[in-house]
């Protein structure tokens, strides 16, 4: 089979996973070109800031639901068999307040908080909590097993897997998506460019997708152990504020979140919001401040008992219609788009990569037929 040159533009979780899947084809010569790489922390680079866990939010029949459904088996496999990838299982509880259903976070989490969601047969140990187990103010709750990913470890692991398969990683900035074709490591132009530029797809030449926008997320990373991973449908502090808690694998700390602030590019943590996030997380999970290893037993059960590693902000690459995964010829170059993964890029990464692979095979078939 003839060699096929592919440039993947972007080294976030979406680009790295796509490159890894493509590199499993012996005749695909894959170059990753990116402005930011794992190890960088930048407001234009979403992947390092994510929690990250797998809490499906795609509504039935949407592309997001399909991508999430097709990602879980691989996350589960890696979690079970590849300890160095930085993923571990977490007991998970999702709390729902009926009054949040129409709020910004309520809309985001509508599917997740259902008592009968589509993923109940996919994520292990799914059950609905009896009303006797519900805390005050909670209308319903579910529990299941999911995963939490130590994102710096996992992104580095993906880089290593790519390198092992012969993928070449290069720094570069493309002003136009078609320019990425000439950045292929062989010196010959790429046959196909995979556009995994996340939020930057809104300003990348040849793409300029006007429906892409930031969903600002602010988090506090702490040393405290919550015991379980938990999320609630909303808060009383503002409808774009959220409360979620997850502990990363391999000592990566516990992420306290958060918010979903549309169209805000502000890269600086807001100290007042940080205080609200910490207060709400302790209310949701008092166990956070009862562990003797990270707290002083003499201090009261308030935010002073959180041992803070850092405050941080990331921008989720939102897109109005959800992720875009499709092929298009731009300025004479075949491009497979894969961007717009909002707050669900990890939990939809493997499904996205498999769809990219299918689209690449489809493009190659069209090119071959055109030669006949
Ligand atoms: P990015 O990680 O932003 O990567 C984009 C890449 O493209 C970068 O390498 C960048 O340098 C490159 N690039 C862009 N333009 C150019 C150019 N012109 N030339 C060269 N390179 C370019 N998801 C989950 O699944 N679970 C979670 O629990 C979760 N929690 C989150 C919490 C927070 C606070 C945030 C901010 C996000 C969270 N997410 C979560 C969402 C997840 O982080 C994103 O969906 C995901 O990181 C998007 O990955 P990406 O590869 O598309 O984009």
pLDDT at 291: 65
Question: Using CA positions, which residue lies closest to atom 53 of ligand 1?
Answer: 198
Structure tokens at 258: 């958060």
Q: Rounded distance, CA 341 to CA 338, Å?
A: 8
> In this structure, are residues 105 and 240 in contact, taking their beta carbons and an 8 Å threshold?
yes
Q: Rounded distance, CA 112 to CA 172, Å?
A: 38
**Is the predicted pLDDT of residue 325 greater than 80, yes or no?**
yes
The topology (CATH level 3) of 4-371 is: Rossmann fold (3.40.50)
**Is the predicted pLDDT of residue 280 greater than 70, yes or no?**
yes
Q: Rounded distance, CA 253 to CA 200, Å?
A: 29
- Give the mean pLDDT of 347-365: 97
Residues of each annotated binding site for D-dopa? 244, 343
- In this prediction, residue 299 has a pLDDT band, given cuts at 50, 70 and 90, of low
Crossing angle for the helix pair 13-22 and 151-164, to the nearest 10 degrees: 30
Q: Which of 197, 231, 352 has most ligand 1 atoms within 8 Å of its beta carbon, as the pocket-test mutant?
A: 197
191-236 tens-digit pLDDT: 999 999 999 999 999 999 999 999 999 999 999 999 999 999 999 9
Q: Rounded distance, CA 118 to CA 114, Å?
A: 9
Cβ contacts of 203 within 8 Å, gap of 6 or more? none
248-275 tens-digit pLDDT: 999 999 999 999 999 999 999 999 999 9
pLDDT at 151: 98
The widest CA-to-CA distance across the chain, in whole angstroms, is: 79
pLDDT at 300: 59
> In this structure, are residues 64 and 57 in contact, taking their beta carbons and an 8 Å threshold?
yes
18-55 tens-digit pLDDT: 999 999 999 999 999 999 999 999 999 999 999 999 99
- Give the mean pLDDT of 285-308: 77
Residue with tokens 């943590």: 269
Phi–psi pair at 255, nearest 5 degrees: -95, 125
pLDDT at 302: 85
Question: What sections of the chain are H helices per DSSP?
Answer: 13-22, 63-81, 104-108, 151-164, 271-284, 349-371
121-165 tens-digit pLDDT: 999 999 999 999 999 999 999 999 999 999 999 999 999 999 999
**Is the predicted pLDDT of residue 369 greater than 90, yes or no?**
no
Question: Using CA positions, which residue lies closest to atom 47 of ligand 1?
Answer: 47
**Length of the chain in terms of residues written:** 372
ipTM for the assembly: 0.99
**Is the predicted pLDDT of residue 298 greater than 80, yes or no?**
no
- In this prediction, residue 72 has a pLDDT band, given cuts at 50, 70 and 90, of very high
pLDDT at 297: 53
Q: Rounded distance, CA 346 to CA 68, Å?
A: 9
β pairing state of 140-149 and 87-96: antiparallel
Q: Rounded distance, CA 362 to CA 30, Å?
A: 17
- Give the mean pLDDT of 349-369: 95
CB-based contacts of 304-310 (< 8 A; 24+ apart in sequence): 305/224, 306/220, 306/222, 306/224, 306/256, 306/278, 306/282, 307/222, 307/223, 307/224, 308/220, 308/221, 308/222, 309/221, 309/222, 309/223, 309/253, 310/220, 310/221
DSSP state of 232: E
Q: Rounded distance, CA 110 to CA 132, Å?
A: 23
pTM for the structure as a whole? 0.96
* For the CA of 342, the nearest atom of ligand 1: 45
Percent of the chain with pLDDT over 70: 97
pLDDT at 368: 83
CA of 217 to the centre of ligand 1 (A): 12
- In this prediction, residue 371 has a pLDDT band, given cuts at 50, 70 and 90, of confident
Q: Rounded distance, CA 58 to CA 64, Å?
A: 5
Structure tokens at 69: 């459904």
pLDDT at 80: 98
Ligand 1 contact, 108 CB (< 6 A): no
Residues of each annotated binding site? 177, 197, 244, 343
Cβ contacts of 292 within 8 Å, gap of 6 or more? none
Average pLDDT in the chain: 96
Ligand 1 contact, 350 CB (< 6 A): no
């Amino acid at each position: 089979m003839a060699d096929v040159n592919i440039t993947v533009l972007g080294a976030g979780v979406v680009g790295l996973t796509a490159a890894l899947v493509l590199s499993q084809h012996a005749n695909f010569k894959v170059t990753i070109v990116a402005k930011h790489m794992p190890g960088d922390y930048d407001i234009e680079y979403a992947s390092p800031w994510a929690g990250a866990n797998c809490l499906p939010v795609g509504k039935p029949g949407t592309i997001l639901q399909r991508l999430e459904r097709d990602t879980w088996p691989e996350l589960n496999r890696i979690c079970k068999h590849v300890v160095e990838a930085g993923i571990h299982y977490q007991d998970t509880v999702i709390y729902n307040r009926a009054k949040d259903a129409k709020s910004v976070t309520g809309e985001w989490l509508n599917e997740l908080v259902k008592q009968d969601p589509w993923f109940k047969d996919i994520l292990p140990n799914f059950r609905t909590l009896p009303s006797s187990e519900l805390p005050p103010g909670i209308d319903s709750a579910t529990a299941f097993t999911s995963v939490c990913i130590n994102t710096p470890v996992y992104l580095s692991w993906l880089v290593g897997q790519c390198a092992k398969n012969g993928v070449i990683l290069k720094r570069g900035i493309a002003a136009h998506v078609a320019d990425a074709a000439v950045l292929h490591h062989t010196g010959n132009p790429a046959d196909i460019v995979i556009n995994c530029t996340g939020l930057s797809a809104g300003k990348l030449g040849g793409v300029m997708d006007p429906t892409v926008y930031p969903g600002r997320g602010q988090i506090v990373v702490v040393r405290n152990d919550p015991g379980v991973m938990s999320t609630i449908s909303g808060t009383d502090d503002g409808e774009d504020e959220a409360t979620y808690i997850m502990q990363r694998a391999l000592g990566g700390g516990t992420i306290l979140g958060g918010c979903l602030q549309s169209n805000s590019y502000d890269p600086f943590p807001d100290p007042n919001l940080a205080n609200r996030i910490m207060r709400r997380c302790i209310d949701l999970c008092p166990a956070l401040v009862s562990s003797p290893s990270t707290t002083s037993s003499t201090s009261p059960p308030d935010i002073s008992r959180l041992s803070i590693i850092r405050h941080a902000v990331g921008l989720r690459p939102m897109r109005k219609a959800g992720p875009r995964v499709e092929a298009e010829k731009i300025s004479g170059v075949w491009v497979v788009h894969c961007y717009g993964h909002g707050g669900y890029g990890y939990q939809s990464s493997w499904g996205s990569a498999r769809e990219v692979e299918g689209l690449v095979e489809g493009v190659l078939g069209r090119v071959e037929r055109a030669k006949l």
